Structure 1
Amino acid sequence: MHENSLENDENDVQDHKVKLRNETIVALEKLKSEIMRNDTEPLLTLFTTWNNSPVKNAVHNITLRNWMTLRPYVVPVIFLYDNLTKQAGGGIPILKYMYIDVMRLFKSTFYAYSNADILFTDTLIYTLFSLKEYMKHISMPILVVGKRHNVNFLTMSEGLSWKSITQVAQMRGKLFNGFAEDYFITTPEYPWRDIAEVVIGRPAYDNWLVYRSRKLQVNVIDSTNTILAVHQTTGSGNYEGHKQTNSNYNHNLLVKLYKFIKYKTGFIECIEKYTDYKNEILLVKTRIVEKQCTV
Structure 2
Amino acid sequence: MPLITLFSAPKPFTNPHIAMIQRNAITSWTLLPDVEVILLGEEAGLAEIAKELGVKHLPNVARNANGTPLISSMFQLARENSNSDLLCIINADMILMPDFVENAKQAARLKEKFVLLSQRWDYDITSPLDFSAGWESGLRESVRKQNQLHRPAGSDFFLFPKSCYNDIPNFIIGRAGWDNWMIYKARLENWPVIDCTPSVMIVHQNHDYSHLPGGRSHYDHPDTNENIRLAGGQANIRYTILDSTHQLVDGKLASPKMTSLRFTRRLELMLRSIFFFLPEAMIENIARPKRWQKRFKKLFK
Is the structural similarity TM-score above 0.5? Answer: yes
Whether 2:71 is the aligned partner of 1:95: answer yes
Partner of 2:13: 52
Q: How many residues align?
A: 243
AA in 2 matched with 1:66: S
Taking the aligned partners of 1:253 and 1:151, their CA distance within structure 2 comes to 28
Higher strand content, 1 or 2: 1
Asked if the contact 1:158/1:164 (under 8 Å) is kept, the reply is no
Bigger radius of gyration among the two: 1
Cα distance, 1:96–1:59 mapped onto 2, change above 3 Å: same
Aligned-residue Cα RMSD (Å) equals 2.7
**1:286 paired residue among 246, 251, 255:** 255
Cα pair distance change 1:53/1:244, threshold 3 Å: farther
| d(CA) in 2 for partners of 1:205, 1:257 | 7
After TM superposition, give the deviation of residue 147 of structure 1 in Å.
0.7
The structural deviation recorded for 1:60 is 1.4
Matching residue of 2:114: 142
In structure 2, what is the equivalent of residue 167 of structure 1?
Answer: 141
Gapped regions of structure 1 (runs ≥ 5)? 1-40
In the alignment, the residues of structure 1 paired with residue 227 and residue 207 of structure 2 have an alpha-carbon distance, to the nearest angstrom, of 29
Instruction: Note the 1:238-253 alignment, pairs <5 A.
Output: 243=217, 247-253=221-227
Runs (5+) with no aligned partner, structure 2:
44-58, 274-301
What is the identity percentage for the equivalent residue pairs of Structure 1 and Structure 2?
Answer: 16
CA distance in 1 between counterparts of 2:115 and 2:65 reads: 25
CA change 1:173–1:115 in 2 (3 A) is: farther
Within 5 A, what are the aligned runs for 1:1-295? 41-50=1-10, 51-55=12-16, 56-71=18-33, 73-81=34-42, 83-88=59-64, 90-135=66-111, 138=112, 141-153=113-125, 155-157=127-129, 161-192=135-166, 194-236=167-209, 243=217, 247-255=221-229, 258-264=232-238, 266-277=239-250, 282-287=251-256, 289-290=262-263, 291-294=267-270
Contact 1:42 / 1:108 at 8 angstroms: preserved in 2?
A: yes
SS at match of 2:197: coil
Give the TM-score taking structure 1 as reference length. 0.74
